[in-house]
Amino acid sequence: MQRNVVLMHVPGLSWTGDALQHQKEENMQPQLHLAANSSLFQILEELTSKERADQLLRVVVVPRPLLDESGDVVSRALLAQALNMLLFEDLLERVPAALRYAMRALAEGKSILHDHGAVRTILQESMGALPAGQEAILRILRPLGYALYGVYPLERLHMTGRSYAQVDMPEEIAQFFLSELHPETFSSEFQDAVRRVTEDSIDPLTPEAVAMLSTLERDGRLPRSTATTLLPALVRCFARHHQDVTEADYDVLLAESAEMAWIATEGNVLNHVTDRVADVDRLSDVQKALGEPMKPTVETSQSRRVRQTAFLAARVQRTFRAADGTLTTREVPGSFLEFITRLPMPADSPEAGRLDLGFDSSNAQAIFKMTAGKPA
């Protein structure tokens, strides 16, 4: 029922070189000698291994204040950073092009500034034990200090997107972009297929984890030992929580919504993670020259301050149930790596000097097409 995405080892993962940020802010230089006694490193080491903790600190930019945080109590910001790093590692394990990109970046003495991760959900009540829509993920994000930043209608996809930023470090800690699909806007046949797919979904969040999240939301911090126990429970929420879909239901879903078909096979795994880069156009040209599976165009927001592109989604093998009960395998789209350039807000804005952390409905809908599947 549930794919195990918890703290998986990435075969052949070997990061080398000092980790340097694309944008050279003074408080964001992830150097391993600074992190040796940090709570972040100790949590990652306990949950994975010293080698993998080192690897994550080399590949993902960490805000300097979080590297300095130590002791027996950890902040919600540190927990949010740790969760993002573990989910980032999971995506590298699932997307070969993303792993190649990360290894090249480190070989060049660079690291990845994780801008945001995206999760798709379904806004309906027949989700078994799983909360409906974005609440399945938002109940995790609220205690970690995330708050609503923007709402983005995705009319062409029959979805609504919402971005959530971590209020203590909104520019430095990755945002989450949560989307909800609206089944009631599709055909009755489609709605029936959605219900069959999701009605037996399990809830991966245990009562113990819920209690820990409640304490975190109240206090804004947790004992480090409690945080180390909680994090794997949170990672398990970013998985698929329903049974294998039937071929017949998958084809019904795919005919009307590639996005729902993707949820049917992938569930609530991160649809993509994102590297914030200084020049997304130049990056696109470089990746195309390397022969990577690059989106042909770069999307530009109406404000002209946010530009985005992406790798095409990885192709993955998934199991389906046939009409006679036998199992079959089909190749479908998986997850991918996105790239984004954010410019500062204008000088006459109340947020002058800060990065534009917003999104754009048109951009988002174009990026969603990275996972468009094809009928058998």
pLDDT at residue 17, as a whole number:
30
Query: Mind listing the pLDDT tens digit for each residue in 175-194?
Result: 999 999 999 999 999 999 99
Query: Would you say residue 295 has pLDDT above 90?
Result: yes
- At 144-164, the pLDDT tens digits run 999 999 999 999 999 999 999
15 SS3 class:
coil
Strands 73-75 and 221-223: antiparallel
Both tokens of 164, joined, read: 């959530």
pLDDT at position 34 is 62
CATH tag, 32-371: 3.10.180.50
Report whether 262 contacts 373 (CB < 8 A): yes
- This model's pTM is above 0.85: yes
What's the pLDDT score for residue 10?
Answer: 34
Domain parsing of the chain, residue ranges: 32-371
In angstroms, what CA-CA distances link 301 with 307, 340, 342, 352? 6, 11, 10, 18
Q: Is the pLDDT of residue 27 over 90?
A: no
